[in-house]
Amino acid sequence: MARVNPPKEPARPTDPAADPLEQAGFSTRAVRSGTHRSDYGEHSEALFLTSSFVFDDAQQAADRFQNREAGVVYSRFTNPSVQMFEERLASLEGAEDCVATASGMSAILSVCLGLLKAGDQIVTSASLFGATIQLFDNFMQKFGVGVQYVSLTDPAAWQAAMTPQTRLFYLETPSNPLTELADLQAIGQIARQAGVITVVDNCFLTPALQQPLAFPIDLVLHSATKYIDGQGRVLGGAVAGPKALVDQIRQVVRTCGPSMSPFNAWVLHKSLETLSVRMQAHNANAQALAEWLEDQPAVSRVYYPGLASHPQHALAQRQQSGGGAVVAFELKGGDSVELTQKAFALVDRVRLFSRTGNLGDTRSIITHPASTTHGRISEEARLRAGIGPGLVRLAVGLEDLRDLQLDLSQALS
């Protein structure tokens, strides 16, 4: 796939004092941006494991609490380790600002609490992570925020769903687990003309493979637990975009406390250094495995944006620089009971793939979405999202491709 925003050749700075990172490429910023050294002059970024910070005097304490002076106060809302992660991720997403949260779900909740009020409406798609659907249906609607579900892939449906109360478009692209794509240019333009805020969940591709803010999109959201960490170690979330919007979300984090821990921020900050090389390797493995799965007799359909058979393959080539690491496929034959049995048997028979509900790990993962990640939503919501009993999701890791093929081959047989 062609890269959407190829890294520009850096211009030679005319000012010797100019920041070299302002014109630097993606990988350089992933390694160098968001670094602040203490008086000790450490090369690797320090970890600030402290709940609070001391002040020089009473006036400085008052000024910092009242935001009259920049500086750290209390780790629920100001911690150097967290701030370094926020700065680095903002640089990679091309965002003005970023706020980190304790998890991806707390990032979504903070967006809703910061930007919505009772009587507002969210327009979103049925192709969402199960917990996001539960948040919208069981909690946001309880507090008077309406939710309208439309087709992710049809911009006209987003246009038709808007009302005077529409405040937010929430998109997950590629979707989980069917890898459907939203047309970021078309849907973003519809929202911008109406003054509606757009939020894109970018955790499947990360800024290494997709940069939504290059389109008419306002905010990018992450479950940093996934590919930003990349090794299944810590939880985290983040929202990046214009400072005016991020500040509203940051106030929720400061007041309500869904904050990222300094330790998790330090881990995620270091993980960003290898994001580009990891995502390229994930992408190569997933592309090859998806092509191999299309030739397997037990498989009826494969869902992966990098495949020519994907109905939105051309769109993927325009707005992504790779298909990502998530591959889903349908097993052949039978009613819902038989398909469930076949899917369970496949999951039970793998020897190399990990049986877990997470994704974004160096280790390949196999999941049956209908009984796990989407198991707690209603059957109607599952059908609306296209989650059938014979659907299996793979999060392709960094093992040797041949070993993954051999494991699936013996399990499918």
Asked if pLDDT for residue 185 goes beyond 60, the answer is: yes
- The CATH number for 20-274, chosen from 3.40.640.10, 3.30.428.10, 3.40.50.720, 3.60.9.10, is 3.40.640.10
Task: Give the residue among 71, 72, 32, 70 at the shortest CA–CA distance from 50.
Answer: 72
Specify the pLDDT at position 15. 60
Over residues 116-137, the pLDDT tens digits come to 999 999 999 988 888 899 999 9
Over residues 309-318, the pLDDT tens digits come to 999 999 999 9
| Structural contact between residues 258 and 102, judged by C-beta atoms closer than 8 angstroms | yes
Say how far apart CA 81 and CA 37 lie, in whole Å: 11
Q: Which residue has the higher pLDDT, 368 or 333?
A: 368
Say how far apart CA 49 and CA 211 lie, in whole Å: 32
Task: Give the residue among 281, 176, 257, 172 at the shortest CA–CA distance from 221.
Answer: 172
Say how far apart CA 82 and CA 49 lie, in whole Å: 11
Specify the pLDDT at position 129. 85
Specify the pLDDT at position 319. 97
Q: What percent of the chain has pLDDT over 70?
A: 96
CATH code of the region 275-412:
3.90.1150.10
Look at the alpha carbons of 85, 26, 110, 195 in this order and tell me if their dihedral is positive or negative. positive
- Domain edges within the chain: 20-274, 275-412
